[in-house]
Structures are given as structure tokens and as C-alpha cells.
């Protein structure tokens, strides 16, 4: 109710801001406009924005697409479903926007996809990192370039069972689409491998203490803890583990990317990821160097690498079929089934009939010295 009251209070301002942004796009009528949607004040949203700007700058330096410059129309969804719907409506209504790069989280992507895929002028949405299984086939205009939770959860379960030889696991998960998805997929695969999940506990972003959960896990006996949450949520878990002296191996899904900045608190955590900056290949090496220069010393995370691929792929589609929403959607749907797979900095991208990339590989990385790296590089 509080959020709805705030939205009603600022509805006129949001409408005016949207109108102003549409007007600005109209003044730049020669440009091809891509929507960019994500939590722009969050570290992951900031990485998304930096990578998208790098890709667009490079495209424009090469002469643009079909002789036209590419521009971004940026929407901050604040990681909120309500804000995502409002932002999606603004992008949908802007006739200059031919495709949307985003959203980042599963919950915002699910909410926004229903907007983009509806009406008489649907717009293609390509998410870099939304992993909820519910996004698969939600409509024909929705795509993603990351594996779903149906790949992350089992990969983590196999790692826990085969590499860590764990037999008793506990799960702490944020109670949203992402957390529930990874938890369910992990628990099912871990049981199939002969393991037992002895504890499964949900929490919310407003939760301030996880002491009861960790206490019960210690009493139950745990070989590994799987965290299905974002980096701030994981920090809460890790601080409680440290306070109680619990030293289990900790693993988690791709939403934990960014936890490496927590220093010693995160040292040794294993994370499943569709992109690492140290992955082999000349294309990725060039991207990492360009990103390093553009950001004055930063290394790209999975959000950055996958976002860069999305922008580059959409530009390729527009070059081939023009800046038409339906034509772009049809081109994307053909990448893999009828056209060659797209070879990006994150590897091969080929869509199936549900807009997923089932062949996209995952890497179980480890936090070492404030960086997320492939274990093979240690």
C-alpha cells in the first residue's frame, strides 16, 4: 500500500518525465533507439549501463547501423515490479524504440515482458540475466541470453555432490521468483544425486537477522550451504555464519555476482555464472580491455558481458532487417534454428522456440582475492 501511494503521488511527474524523454527521442529522429531497462542505481544496473554504452559507442564509431547512429533510452526500474511496468509502458509507447535490452532481475523481467509482448505493436525484449523458468515462452517477443534456473540449480547441485562430496545441504533463499526457482531446481537435482536437503529457509529483503536459520542448520548437520539470493542478501547470511563460527562451503547462483567486493567475507564462495572476464578467446580479451579502459580500471562481470552481447546482437539484427520491431523479433527467433548462432564475448548464443539459450554453458567460479575467477585459472 505504501508503494502504491507513492506511485499515485508521483504519477504526474512520471508521466511528464516520460513525455519529455519521448520528445527528446523525437528530436533525434535520425537515430535508431534501443531501450535499456534495469536497476540503474544498483551495482548490477550500473554494469549494465556501462556495457551498453560501450557497445553503442563502438557501433557508432564504426558508422552506426544502416548508416544511422544508435541511441539508448534508459529506464530505471529500481528492481521493482511496479516500476518495471511503468518503464515498460513508456518504452512500449515510444514509437522510436525498436527493441529493449533488459530487464536484469527475474521479477522485473516477468512483469515487463507482459507489457512488451502485448497490444498491436509489441517490442522485442532481450534480457541479459533474468533466469526464472517462468520467462520461457511467456510470449514470442521475449528472449534471454543467460541460462535459466533449470540450468543454474542442477549445476550447483552437481558441483556440491561431485566436487564437494556433500551429502547434506541447506538452502537459504530470497522469497521471490529467482530465489524460489534456484532453490527448487537445486533441491530436486541434489536429491536425485543421493543427497538430502535438511533445511530450506526463505527470507525477504527486509529481513535483519538469520540467526534462527543458521542455528537450526548447525543442529541438523550441514555439508554445504546454497544461497539463492543477491549479493546484499548473501552478505547477511555470511555475517551470521561468521558470528556463529559456521564454516560450511558456500555456493550460490549468478545473483551473487558482486559479492566478491565484500573482500574476506566472500573469500572461497563458489558461484555459477554464464560469463567470466577471464574466459578464453580473442573476442572476449578485446572486450575486457575495452571495458577496462572505458571504466577506468574495472573488469566486466556477467551482467556487463551479457549486456554487451545483447546490444551487439540487436545491432546485427537491425543491420540485416532494418529498425522494425516485428522484423527484429523474427531475426532473433531465427538465430540458431535458421541462422548461424551468434558468437559473442560470452560465447555462443542460439535461441530455441521459447526464447531461451539451452546450450549456453555455465561455469562454477570461485571468489579469490576480491575477484570472481574460474577455478581452472588458480
Q: Classify residue 93 by burial, with Cβ atoms within 10 Å: 0-12, 13-18, 19+.
A: middle
Backbone angles phi, psi at 93, to 5 degrees: -75, -15
Which segments of the chain does DSSP mark as H helices, in order?
Answer: 2-27, 43-61, 81-93, 106-116, 149-158, 177-192, 211-220, 231-244, 282-294, 302-321, 325-334
176 secondary structure, DSSP code: S
- Mean residue pLDDT of the chain comes to 91
All three cell numbers of 195: 543427497
CATH superfamily of 150-273: Response regulator (3.40.50.2300)
Q: Classify residue 257 by burial, with Cβ atoms within 10 Å: 0-12, 13-18, 19+.
A: buried
pLDDT tens for 125-177 read: 999 999 999 999 999 999 999 999 999 999 999 999 999 999 999 999 999 88
All three cell numbers of 263: 573482500
Q: How many other C-beta atoms are found inside a 10 Å radius of the C-beta of residue 134? A: 17
Do 191 and 157 form a contact (C-beta atoms < 8 A)? no
The residue length of the chain stands at: 378
CATH topology for the 2-147+280-361 domain? Rossmann fold (3.40.50)
In the chain, what are the domain boundaries? 2-147+280-361, 150-273
Q: What per-residue confidence (pLDDT) applies to 134?
A: 94
pLDDT tens for 29-79 read: 599 999 999 999 999 999 999 999 999 999 999 999 999 999 999 999 999
Q: Do domains 2-147+280-361 and 150-273 have the same CATH topology?
A: yes
More confident residue, 370 or 15: 370
Q: What per-residue confidence (pLDDT) applies to 206?
A: 83
Residue 359 confidence class, pLDDT cut points 50, 70, 90: confident
Query: With a threshold of 0.75, does the pTM exceed it?
Result: yes
pLDDT tens for 304-313 read: 999 999 999 9
Amino acid at each position: 500500500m505504501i508503494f502504491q501511494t507513492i506511485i499515485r503521488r508521483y504519477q504526474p511527474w512520471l508521466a511528464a518525465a516520460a513525455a519529455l524523454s519521448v520528445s527528446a527521442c523525437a528530436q533525434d529522429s535520425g537515430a535508431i533507439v534501443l531501450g535499456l531497462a534495469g536497476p540503474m542505481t544498483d551495482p548490477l544496473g550500473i554494469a549494465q549501463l556501462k556495457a551498453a554504452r560501450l557497445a553503442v559507442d563502438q557501433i557508432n564509431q564504426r558508422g552506426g547501423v544502416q548508416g544511422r547512429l544508435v541511441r539508448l533510452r534508459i529506464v530505471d526500474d529500481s528492481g521493482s515490479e511496479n516500476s518495471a511496468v511503468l518503464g515498460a509502458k513508456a518504452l512500449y509507447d515510444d514509437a522510436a524504440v525498436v527493441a529493449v535490452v533488459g530487464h536484469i532481475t527475474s521479477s522485473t523481467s516477468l512483469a515487463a515482458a507482459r507489457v512488451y509482448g502485448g497490444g498491436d505493436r509489441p517490442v522485442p525484449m532481450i534480457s541479459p540475466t533474468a533466469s526464472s523458468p517462468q520467462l520461457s515462452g511467456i510470449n514470442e517477443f521475449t528472449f534471454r541470453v543467460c541460462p535459466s534456473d533449470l540450468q543454474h540449480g542442477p549445476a550447483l547441485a552437481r558441483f556440491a555432490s561431485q566436487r564437494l562430496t556433500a551429502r547434506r545441504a541447506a538452502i537459504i533463499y530470497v522469497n521471490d521468483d529467482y530465489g524460489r526457482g534456484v532453490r527448487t531446481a537445486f533441491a530436486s537435482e541434489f536429491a536425485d544425486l543421493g543427497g538430502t536437503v535438511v533445511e530450506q529457509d526463505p527470507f525477504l529483503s527486509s529481513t535483519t537477522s538469520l540467526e534462527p536459520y543458521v542455528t537450526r542448520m548447525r543442529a541438523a548437520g550441514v555439508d554445504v550451504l546454497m544461497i539463492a539470493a543477491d549479493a546484499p542478501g548473501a552478505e547477511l547470511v555470511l555475517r551470521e555464519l561468521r558470528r556463529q563460527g559456521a564454516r560450511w562451503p558456500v555456493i550460490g547462483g549468478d545473483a551473487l555476482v558482486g559479492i566478491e567486493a565484500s573482500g574476506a567475507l566472500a573469500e572461497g564462495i563458489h558461484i555459477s555464472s554464464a560469463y567470466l572476464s577471464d574466459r578464453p578467446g580473442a573476442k572476449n580479451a578485446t572486450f575486457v580491455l575495452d571495458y577496462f579502459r572505458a571504466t577506468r580500471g574495472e573488469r566486466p562481470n556477467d551482467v556487463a558481458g551479457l549486456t554487451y552481447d545483447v546490444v551487439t546482437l540487436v545491432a546485427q539484427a537491425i543491420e540485416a532487417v532494418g529498425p522494425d520491431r516485428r522484423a527484429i523479433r523474427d531475426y532473433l527467433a531465427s538465430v540458431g534454428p535458421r541462422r548461424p548462432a551468434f558468437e559473442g564475448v560470452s560465447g555462443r548464443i542460439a535461441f530455441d522456440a521459447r526464447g531461451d539459450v539451452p546450450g549456453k554453458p555455465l561455469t562454477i567460479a570461485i571468489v579469490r582475492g576480491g575477484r570472481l575467477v574460474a577455478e581452472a585459472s588458480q
